[in-house]
């Protein structure tokens, strides 16, 4: 939950004159997205989302993100579509920040995803990967495998305060990932952060994907590894193989995956757990007094990583 920048009615009115969506009739700061300020904006034409990009998002990356959302929406992926201003631009400035208006998507994020919702995410992820293949702009993964060692080392001195032995375990894990990381898997645009917060449903029907601000180019199957981590653990952190089976099967019905991708999956699920563990560990050890957003407990991903370390083969993820 975070509204970092307050938009006055005067600033909103002036901003909307650059668009052809009518005058603003309501603006409510919403608790969505921790990196940016988001408003639910009603104009005479209905609801929209107004996003002001705060400092954690690189302004230079915004054309990639907004272009991707537009490309995906044109290719029938349910996601926010940037609204063009009268001058054709989708990105402009509001209250000193880069800002964009996007279409409003109905649906509610699940707090405890159902098996059927996990299947829906698998299918939507595959369709995103297929639709993304025509998007020619590229963005390197700023949180890719190559950077985990460096990120971890920033937190290594405090890691054992989170759990005794954690520094050593992570050190060895990153060595293992470095030694075994695949070098040639199908790659393309990935969402890279498709947590339940970022997926809307109306009951069991998936209505949209949001928050593309980590999207980048990387192995497609790594995106599925992120989703297995984000969707298939129960609140007690036991792994629900039924959900994993439904998710991977739904993915494969939309996009066929190679034997090399299947073989890499157990390593990539470990990698995905490490990716979220190293950023959460850093945020946990570097908490800002009075911050609007409380950092997430890194222990969740320590336990998820331990599960993946114990996996013998892809049957554990419902792939046989």
* Residue ranges in contact with a second copy by CB under 8 A: 1, 3, 6, 8-10, 12-13, 23-32, 40, 42, 47, 104-112, 200-203, 207
Question: Which residues make Cβ contacts (< 8 Å) with residue 239, sequence separation at least 6?
Answer: 232, 233, 307, 316
CB of 15 to a second copy, least distance (A): 12
Place of tokens 């919702």: 117
CB of 190 to a second copy, least distance (A): 26
Closer residue to a second copy (CB): 105 or 237: 105
Q: Shortest distance, CB of residue 28 to a second copy, whole angstroms?
A: 4
Give dist(CA 298, CA 280) in Å, integer. 5
Question: Which residue, 138 or 205, has its beta carbon nearer to a second copy?
Answer: 205
Radius of gyration of the chain (CA): 20
Tokens for 164?
């005794």
**Closest CB to a second copy among residues 89, 291:** 291
**Is the Cβ of residue 5 or residue 248 nearer to a second copy in the bound state?**
5
Pick between residue 138 and residue 203 the one whose CB is nearest to a second copy: 203
76: left (phi over 0), alpha (psi -120 to 50) or beta: left
Give min distance, CB of 225 to a second copy, in A: 25
Query: CA–CA separation, 79 vs 70, rounded Å?
Result: 8
Query: Distance between CA 162 and CA 130 in Å, rounded?
Result: 40
In the DSSP assignment, the letter for residue 82 is B
What is the nearest approach in angstroms of a second copy to the Cβ of residue 102? 14
């Amino acid at each position: 939950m975070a509204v970092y920048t307050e938009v006055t009615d005067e600033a909103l009115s002036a901003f909307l004159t650059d668009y052809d969506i009518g005058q603003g009739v309501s603006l409510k700061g919403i608790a969505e997205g921790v990196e940016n300020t988001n408003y639910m904006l009603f104009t005479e034409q209905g609801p929209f989302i107004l996003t002001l990009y705060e400092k954690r998002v690189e302004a230079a990356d915004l054309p990639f993100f907004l272009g991707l959302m537009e490309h995906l929406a044109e290719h029938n992926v349910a996601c926010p579509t940037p609204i063009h201003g009268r001058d054709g631009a989708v990105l402009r400035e509001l209250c000193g920040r880069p800002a964009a208006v996007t279409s409003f998507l109905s649906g509610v994020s699940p707090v405890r995803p159902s098996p059927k919702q996990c299947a829906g995410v698998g299918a939507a992820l595959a369709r995103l990967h297929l639709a993304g293949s025509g998007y020619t702009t590229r963005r390197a993964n700023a949180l890719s495998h190559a950077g985990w060692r460096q990120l971890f080392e920033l937190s290594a001195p405090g890691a054992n305060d989170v759990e005794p032995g954690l520094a050593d375990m992570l050190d060895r894990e990153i060595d293992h990932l470095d030694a075994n990381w695949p070098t040639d898997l199908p790659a393309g645009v990935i969402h890279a952060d498709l947590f339940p917060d970022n997926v809307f449903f109306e009951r069991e029907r998936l209505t949209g994907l949001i928050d593309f601000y980590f999207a980048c180019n990387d192995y497609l199957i790594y995106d599925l590894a992120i989703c297995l981590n984000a969707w298939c653990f129960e609140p007690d952190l036991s792994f629900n193989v039924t959900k994993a089976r439904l998710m991977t099967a739904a993915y494969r019905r939309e996009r066929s995956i190679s034997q090399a991708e299947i073989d890499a999956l157990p390593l990539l699920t470990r990698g995905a757990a490490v990716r979220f563990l190293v950023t959460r560990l850093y945020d946990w050890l570097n908490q800002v007094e009075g911050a609007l957003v409380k950092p997430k407990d890194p222990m969740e991903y320590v336990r998820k990583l331990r599960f993946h370390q114990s996996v013998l083969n892809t049957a554990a993820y419902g792939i046989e």
